[in-house]
Each structure stands twice: as C-alpha cells, then as structure tokens.
Amino acid sequence: MIESEPGVLVEGITKSFGQVKALRGVSFRAERGQVLGILGPNGAGKSTMVNVLSTLVRPDGGRAIVAGHDVAHDPAAVRRSIMLTGQSAALDNMLSARENLILFGRLMGLDKQSAIRRAGQLLEEFDLEYAADRRVGQYSGGMRRRIDIACGLVVRPQVVFLDEPTTGLDPRSRQSVWDLVDRLRDQGITTLLTTQYLEEADVLSDNIIVIDNGAVIAEGTADELKARIGTSYCEVIPLHTHEIPQMVAALGNLLPPGLRSEINAETVSLSVPAPGGAQTLAEVLRRLDQAQIELIDIALRRPSLDQVFLSLTGESSPAGTAS
C-alpha cells in the first residue's frame, strides 16, 4: 500500500436487497491508522457497508478500495489485508484458546514456532492467559468475543472491521475491547467500527460518519458533530432557589432574552449559553460571587453525541440510547 493512500476509500457504493435500498451511494474515506466510527440506527446499512468492504457482499455500483485493493477486482488481496470479527463460527469449541490461536497462525502460513509465540503474545494482550488452556466451548460470551478478535490479529492486518464489537458485553469486557482499539491505532492499523453506542463512537473514533437509511447524513469528529447542533452551556444550581431572580439580574446580558418568561416557581437551575466555554463559566462565577449568591453546583456542559444523533436522524434513534 502506498504511504499517502487512505486505509479505506469508498465512492458512491450502492446495494439493494430486492426492494430494499440498503446503501444509496455511500462515500467516505478512512486514513491509515485512523479509527472511523460508523454510527446509525437499526437498519441504517452499517453491516451491509462493512460486508461490502470485507468482500462478503458484492455492491451493485460504486467503488471501494481497502488497503489499496479494489473489492470488486481483487477480493482475495482485500481478504489478505483485513480482519473481520464475528469469525467465532470458525473457532473450534473442542480446542483451547491457545490451540485455536496456533491453528489460525498455521492456517495463515506461520511456522510452528512462530505460531506458538504469536499465540502466547495474544493471550497475554487479551488477558486470557488464565483460561488459555480451557476449551473455547466453555468460554463466556465476552471471553469468546475476545478470543475471536485475537484470532483475527494473528497476522497483523492493515484494516480491521469491528461490527458492533461491544454489544452485549459487560463493562469490563467492553473496556478491554476499547483498549484493543487504542492498540490498533498505535500500530497504525485502520479500524472501522460500527456501533449504536454513541459514547463508544465518541471515545474511540478519530472521525465519525453517521449513516441513516443507506446514506451518509453527517461526517466529522465528535467535536465537530457536537458543534453543529449548538454550543456548550453552563448549568448553575443555587443553594436557595428563591434567589433565582437575583441570579437572573446578576447574569444580565449573559442570558438569552426569552429566558425570563420561562422562569417559574419550579425552576431550580439556570442554563447559561457558554460560547466562550471556560471563559463564560469564569464570568458567570464572578458575577454570582459579586452578587453573593451561594451555589450547590456549577458545570460546563457540552451537547452530547446523543443529542446530535437525535437531531440528525429525527425520530429514529438507536435502541436504548434515547433518553
């Protein structure tokens, strides 16, 4: 692969299943060594996109280059350059984790000594040494997921596809998958990660594309996406709610003009738009301090990716994340 080439380049990919237009002309790129988060509600086309890139599904139109190879013209070269999770079907339940890893290594062309050494490294990296010699058939779901991913890394891939790698995992196993993604980045591997967990896309991705209904509807870093739907705000909670009118007076022009009419007996906190971020927060504190208003809490809050997602995709939100 040439230095300047992106890890993944997608141009106008279309794919229909009968009447269902799963992909309607999707384009994006992922630079080498980058983690690209692919975010979208159920049925958006995320898995179809990943399957096209890993040569499991043939697109109807468009062009996709993975690690320098065209998925339509040289699928074998693409397959040699990638790793795809969900190969657990390929795990042999009667063998131990170590034996599975060695077997994978041998199948990928490593000699026996190298395969044994690589298996040992991966077991250590994936915190599976304690169970290394137990049959995989007795593993829990999270352990299986880890050994599954480990098998895909026996020979260092150039591009890794992780299709919802943490769905159904406990927090600890989820964290170990997150650590893995960081390690892939450190090694210069391009990673495409689909997820319905916005927090996950936020934490892990260098760049995010949002797919809805078979099309890319937004693209950018988590911060850029958040900036699209508004600025941060400063939330202020006074010790005595009866002092809210004094707070409003003290904050003066920092508050939007319409806010006064929204304040009533039930109001317990104020949200002050904070275009200046920490500077606005400092100014809010200074004014309230001068007015001698005691606070329980004051915090700078940024719009969450959840809000971005809901505003972009309208009604359709990923399961379990709408609040």
Ligand X SMILES: Nc1ncnc2c1ncn2[C@@H]1O[C@H](COP(=O)(O)OP(=O)(O)OP(=O)(O)O)[C@@H](O)[C@H]1O
Q: Which residues bind ligand X (CB under 6 A)?
A: 17, 20, 22, 40, 42-48, 196
Q: Does 47 bind Mg ion (CB under 5 A)?
A: yes
- Our CB check for ligand X shows the closer of 47 and 54 to be 47
CB 36 within 8 A of CB 209: yes
Q: How far is the CB of 141 from ligand X (least distance, A)?
A: 17
Q: Which two tokens stand for residue 297?
A: 């809490």
- Per-residue burial over 117-138, b if 16 or more Cβ lie within 10 Å, else e, is ebbeebbebbebeebbeeebee
Q: Which two tokens stand for residue 8?
A: 């993944």
The runs of H, that is alpha helices, within 187-276 are 198-204, 222-228, 244-251, 259-262
Q: How far is the CB of 60 from ligand X (least distance, A)?
A: 13
Which one-letter DSSP state was computed for residue 14?
E
Phi-psi region of 88 (alpha: psi -120 to 50; beta: other; left: phi over 0): alpha
Question: What does 296 interact with, of Mg ion, ligand X, none (CB < 5 to 8 A by kind)?
Answer: none
Q: How far is the CB of 22 from ligand X (least distance, A)?
A: 3
- What's the CA gap between 38 and 141, in Å, rounded? 24
Residue, CB closest to Mg ion: 47
Question: What does 22 interact with, of Mg ion, ligand X, none (CB < 5 to 8 A by kind)?
Answer: ligand X
Helix (H, G, I), strand (E, B) or coil at 56: coil
Question: What does 98 interact with, of ligand X, Mg ion, none (CB < 5 to 8 A by kind)?
Answer: none
- What's the CA gap between 319 and 323, in Å, rounded? 10
- Our CB check for ligand X shows the closer of 32 and 46 to be 46
- Our CB check for ligand X shows the closer of 81 and 196 to be 196
- Our CB check for Mg ion shows the closer of 161 and 233 to be 161
State the number of binding residues for Mg ion (CB under 5 A): 2
Q: How far is the CB of 220 from ligand X (least distance, A)?
A: 19
CB 225 within 8 A of CB 308: yes
Q: How far is the CB of 44 from Mg ion (least distance, A)?
A: 8
What order of strands is seen across the sheet that includes strand 207-212? 82-84, 159-163, 190-195, 35-39, 207-212, 215-220
- What's the CA gap between 115 and 112, in Å, rounded? 5
Q: Which two tokens stand for residue 171?
A: 């927090």
- Our CB check for ligand X shows the closer of 45 and 238 to be 45
Question: What does 244 interact with, of Mg ion, ligand X, none (CB < 5 to 8 A by kind)?
Answer: none
- Our CB check for ligand X shows the closer of 167 and 231 to be 167
Q: Which two tokens stand for residue 51?
A: 């399957």
User: Of the listed pieces 46-54, 150-158, 195-203, 308-316, which binds Mg ion according to CB under 5 A?
Assistant: 46-54
Question: What does 48 interact with, of Mg ion, ligand X, none (CB < 5 to 8 A by kind)?
Answer: ligand X
Q: How far is the CB of 70 from ligand X (least distance, A)?
A: 21
- Our CB check for ligand X shows the closer of 19 and 323 to be 19
Q: How far is the CB of 48 from Mg ion (least distance, A)?
A: 8
Q: Does 196 bind Mg ion (CB under 5 A)?
A: no
Which one-letter DSSP state was computed for residue 239?
S
- What's the CA gap between 86 and 186, in Å, rounded? 23
Question: What does 43 interact with, of ligand X, Mg ion, none (CB < 5 to 8 A by kind)?
Answer: ligand X
Q: How far is the CB of 50 from ligand X (least distance, A)?
A: 8
